[in-house]
């Protein structure tokens, strides 16, 4: 367990902070709890008043502390595996960038709906906190960690999970999830498989992209592989 935590420090530091903020929400009075979730939201009002703090801080709070254990499971399955595979820096760039981009895009959608009189102006103060955008990006990146045929089943499941809400009465959060998932898919160049130029044949042979290539037999010409 110690080795697992040390191999994905960013994931577990993030979880620790979320655990602390969840305890704060759970122990606060109803009025104080509402104040905290609104003050730490990345809604239109907070983005106008405190753009950088609201973008960063909103990713360390969840609205329902009772869901914390579920997030622990999701972090271990998604974030921890992606961080161990890609490294902390690349993982953080990918999920952090997706969180910021999805937040800005979804709140821009809310703003356009308000200006078009499709949403009330009170939506500028909507609660917009949570870690789901980062999880969606990690889910997209994890697609490249799996080998065929498991990859295709996993990909279909991810697309169904995020696609159904988007196609059936989507909210601004569903739109943000789609943006974050797409950015996770687009993060292929940051994966070890892309960095090493792993071929499809090597993937289908079952070699782990994160492992070094096996030593070639003596006398074999390294340049004799047929082009495709």
Give pLDDT tens digits for 122-150: 999 999 998 999 999 999 999 999 988 99
For residue 141, the model assigns a pLDDT of 96
Burial, 101: exposed, middle or buried (Cβ in 10 Å; 0-12, 13-18, 19+)? Answer: middle
For residue 170, the model assigns a pLDDT of 83
For residue 194, the model assigns a pLDDT of 77
- Kindly report the three-state secondary structure assignment for every residue of 74-140: HHHHHHHHHHHHHCHHHHHHHHHHHHHHHHHHHHHHHHHHHHCCCCCHHHHHCCCCCCHHHHHHHHH
For residue 192, the model assigns a pLDDT of 87
For residue 79, the model assigns a pLDDT of 97
Instruction: Name the stretches of the chain with pLDDT < 70.
Output: 195-228
For residue 195, the model assigns a pLDDT of 67
């Amino acid at each position: 367990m110690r080795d697992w935590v040390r191999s994905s420090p960013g994931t577990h530091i993030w979880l620790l902070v979320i655990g602390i903020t969840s305890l704060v929400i759970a122990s606060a009075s109803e009025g104080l709890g509402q104040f905290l979730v609104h003050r730490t939201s990345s809604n239109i009002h907070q983005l106008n008043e405190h753009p950088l703090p609201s973008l960063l801080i909103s990713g360390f709070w969840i609205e329902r502390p009772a869901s914390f254990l579920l997030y622990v499971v999701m972090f271990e399955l998604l974030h921890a595996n992606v961080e161990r595979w890609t490294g902390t820096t690349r993982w953080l760039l990918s999920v952090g960038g997706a969180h910021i981009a999805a937040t800005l895009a979804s709140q821009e959608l809310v703003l356009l709906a308000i200006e078009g009189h499709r949403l009330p102006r009170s939506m500028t103060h909507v609660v917009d906190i949570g870690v789901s955008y980062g999880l969606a990006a990690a889910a997209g990146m994890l697609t490249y960690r799996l080998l065929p045929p498991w990859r295709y089943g996993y990909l279909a499941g991810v697309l169904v999970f995020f696609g159904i809400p988007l196609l059936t009465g989507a909210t601004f959060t569903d739109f943000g999830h789609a943006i974050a998932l797409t950015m996770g898919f687009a993060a292929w160049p940051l994966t070890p498989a892309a960095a090493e130029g792993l071929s499809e044949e090597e993937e289908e042979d079952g070699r782990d992209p994160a492992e070094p290539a096996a030593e070639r037999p003596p006398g074999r010409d390294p340049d004799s592989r047929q082009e495709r």
